[in-house]
Amino acid sequence: MISREDDSRLRATLDPPAPAPGFAERVLRAVRERRRAGAAALAFDVAASDRGIAGLRPGSGRVEAATRRARALAKRVRAELAEYLEGLRSYFTVPLDLSTTASFQRSVLDVAATIPFGEVRSYRWIAEAIGKPGAVRAVGTALGRNPVPIVVPCHRVLRSDGGLGGYAFGLDLKERLLALEHETPALVGSDATRIICRHGCGDEQRIAVHHRVVFASLSEARASGYRACRRCLEGRSSPSSPFFRNLAKAL
C-alpha cells in the first residue's frame, strides 16, 4: 500500500535542518562543565543508617554506613547530588534519618524541606510556620546545624531584609546554590507580547490564559524569539558555561 516512492518523499519531508555551526563544540563544552560541577558530589562526606541519610557535608568523600542498605542509600544520595549539581535534578528522593535531631530543629528542618526548588523564604517565615514567630534567631541556629544541607534546602532561607543570612559551608556556596536554582527558572511568557517573565513577576499576572506559554530556560525562549522582561529578568542569562565553571570552583 505504501510505495517506495512515497517513502523517499516522506524521508525528504522529515529531514530536519542541519544543526547550527559549532553545535558539537558548544554541547561538548556544556556537558564538560556540568560534569565538573557534578563531580564535586564525590567529595561530600555521607553518613547513612538503615532509615536514611543522617549527614552530608563537603569533605573528602568518606562514607559512614554500617549496613548494606545504608551503604546503598549513601551511594544513592551522592548520585542524586551529582545530578542536582549538574542541573539534571530539582528534587531528592532519598529518605532522611533525622532521628538524632532535637524536636525544635526537626520541625524547622521539616518546614525548610517544603520550600520548592528555585524559590526562597525568610527565617521569619519558618518561625511563623512552626508557630514560634519570636524564634527567628533560633531558626537560624537550627538551620546552621542542618545535618543534611542541600537535600534539606536550608540555602533557600534568607533574611527578611533580603540579606543572605548565614551558611555553614560559607556564603559563597550558598550564593552559588541559589544561583544554580535561579538560573534554571520556570519562565512564563506571552505569545502576544513575546516577553517572558520569571514565575511570580507582577507583569506575569497580566498575561491572558490563552496567550500564556512556558519555557524551561531563557536560551530556549530567546531562540524562539522572546525577550526577557525588564522588571524581573533583565541582564540574566540561562545556565552558561562560566556559571557551571564557577560552581565547580566554589565546591
Partner 1 sequence: MGAAAKHDDGESADAVLLAAAAAGDERAFADLVRRYERRFYAVARRMLGDDGEAEDAVQTALLQIHRHAPAYRPQWSGSTWLYRILTNVCIDLWRKRRRRDGLADAPELRAAGPRDAERIDVDRALAKLPAEARAILLLCYVEELSYREVARVRGVTVNTVKTQLARAKRALRRHLSEVNR
Q: Which of 4, 24, 134, 162 binds partner 1 (CB under 8 A)?
A: 24
Which window, 17-25, 46-54, 55-63, 158-166, contacts partner 1 (CB under 8 A)? 17-25
- Scanning residues 59 to 118, which ones bind partner 1 (CB under 8 A)? 86, 88
Nearest to partner 1 of 116, 144 (CB atom)? 116
User: Which CB atom, from 120 or from 213, has the smaller least distance to partner 1?
Assistant: 213
With CB under 8 A as the contact rule, the residue among 3, 4, 5, 11 that binds partner 1 is: 11
Q: Least CB distance from residue 206 to partner 1, whole Å?
A: 18
If binding means CB under 8 A, how many residues of this protein chain bind partner 1?
Answer: 37
Q: Are 127 and 158 in contact (CB under 8 A)?
A: no
18 binds partner 1 (CB under 8 A): yes
Residues 6+ apart with CB under 8 A from 233: 187, 196, 197, 198, 201, 218
Q: Which residue lies nearer to partner 1 by CB, 26 or 206?
A: 26
Distance CA 95, CA 204 (A): 36
Q: Name the residue nearer to partner 1 (CB basis): 111 or 187.
A: 187
Residues 174-233 that bind partner 1 (CB under 8 A): 186, 191, 213-214, 216-217, 219-225
Give the separation between CA 45 and CA 192, rounded to whole angstroms.
50
Grid cell of 209 as nine digits: 490564559
The answer to whether 40 and 248 are in contact (CB under 8 A) is yes
Q: Which stretch binds partner 1 (CB under 8 A): 8-16, 94-102, 123-131, 146-154?
A: 8-16
Catalogue the active-site residues.
Answer: 154
Q: How far is the CB of 221 from partner 1 (least distance, A)?
A: 8
